[in-house]
Amino acid sequence: MRSSWIRFIFSATLTISASGVAWATSEGTCFDVVNVPPGDVLNLRADPNGRARIVMSTTAQDGHIIALAGKCRGSWCRVSVSTGDGTLRGWMHTRYLRAKECP
């Protein structure tokens, strides 16, 4: 009985977390890069998984504009990243994104 209760709590927590991501990522949403350790980078990936090809890498200090460019799938959001050389599209993990208003 106790393990059933623990599984229920864990499941409810995951559901609440996932719904928070969907709520924070409506069209017109931009993102700040967060939770990336100093000296590390956040990768823009070709597909929504950690083994997908890296399209580009960025840091919080780079100042790129990261905007929602589609729907989120699980813990990954389809984004566009505006750089000085143009705009790239791909996927970023939500652990490293904080929603904000677009400039």
CATH class of the domain defined by 2-101: mainly beta
> Which pLDDT value is given to residue 27?
64
Which residue ranges make up each domain of the chain?
A: 2-101
Calculate what percentage of the chain has a pLDDT beyond 90.
70
Burial of 56 (C-beta count, 10 Å sphere; 0-12/13-18/19+): middle
Average pLDDT over residues 35-56: 97
Q: List, for residues 10-19, the tens digit of each pLDDT value.
A: 333 333 334 3
Decide if 48 contacts 74 (C-beta within 8 A): yes
Q: List, for residues 62-96, the tens digit of each pLDDT value.
A: 999 999 999 999 999 999 999 988 999 999 999 99
Distance CA 45, CA 52 (A): 6
Distance CA 91, CA 44 (A): 6
Q: Is 23 helix (H, G, I), strand (E, B) or coil?
A: helix
Q: Is the pTM of this model over 0.85?
A: no
